Structure 1
């Protein structure tokens, strides 16, 4: 091994340690506010490090918005929030060109999509046309308004929430949009002890009011770069492909190639969280239950998408 190779190895080891440290610090920071959702917080961090977006779905009042705010507050970047309502217009999200009478020119006024962490609260309350305003930004990191393209800040993550009640007053997210979310999570009600602990913390001053950033945007971007360099050997890529093909063979709509990419990117981030520079099957298996099901439509009322993913993980061999 040459001196150059040794230096590169040391730099790689250092970058891996730094990325693992950033992920761990953010998780611990969020847990200063959010009680009892360690696995869900880990999944959010792996999605962010894997350059993905997150969808939080559950009944009202279980902490979806507070979780998103806590994650955003853990970084020193720009946090923006969009409250989705039935009368929200696409330009309320992306921004609009406004005529400046002084300069006699149109000026672009940026909408709330131009943030490092963007919270789309109750996204299913807005009609599909408004929801679709997120698609270009989520996939390509840019927004097109009146024929002009504007890049969103980097790093960029959308964390959206949606309620599972009052479906007659909400709109289903189209598959094209669901497929752009790397991870879909359900929080559920806390255990009795966790709820009691939470009540003890929020009576009086809420802990989020004192939450401070523990990582910079540069830290997040460097961690993302480290995750992108994590080794994914051919057997792991083949395993992810077979999982996706299993869902396509056993469902009306199976996992798309974008879903396979998201699975491997999440697995890369999981490897970094475990301080490894290479992906193992366990990384894929840990992320599959939150990365794949929302991309699947089953043709049987007796088997849910989550059931199908569980069956795939049990059936498809790791070679």
Structure 2
């Protein structure tokens, strides 16, 4: 739930709400106060506004999360900007002042951080973009650990493109190799990070779709080739997959043994039906929270390999890919 104010505005606009602090506060209050959410969710990544915000009832959001047994975290990157000298690619800014900001976030109750950078397959990716992404993630991770925050390392391979699953696999191998090399160069403690990658899937516009078993096979093969077993957790992003698709793929990955805790760190794939159910109406809050709890419990089962997919709504099966998505 770490969408920037601009991205949160896009979410609110989809249900006809204005992008005001009051509306952002109302939606995030709905999310954190869903009864029993802590049974399925262990951490919540917040945007800076939310970390310092109170609920509509006047309770600090970090306190509400703590009561649920949910650890508060913070998005510390400052977003994507064009990368000069590249093939129309981007880099992630936010290293300037990161140490002092991280210390302040820790004081406010955050215990982990997240930094998202992206690589685009249709645009190359160029060696420059891959190096820049890996180096930025590594510097962020080292600075975060130095200030007591567990860094979530998020090298996202965007879904955009017509390429097949083999192309995604090859690009991801290259990106992850660079990321872990740079983490080591920066003396990042692997036991003290979480990896938040995208799953290995075909491009969103590829005519050949992949089954959950294929996604699991390719993704686990990539993990085994590139990720040190010292890394305790792999928290996959959903990246525009439908709610059900993201859950089915996660479940398939947990059908075979591996050295990591393979779990989820979803935004849209947890929030979408919840948001549509709420629609900004106070009388719909309970139904929206029930929709959120349904998704959270489904993914909780999937990270144990026990999800069946029975009784899912049509809304939950709708894809959420947005071409050229930024946040």
Q: Which has the higher helix share?
A: 1
TM over 0.5: no
Larger Rg: 1
TM-score when normalising by structure 1: 0.26
Higher RCO (Cα < 8 Å, 6 or more apart): 1
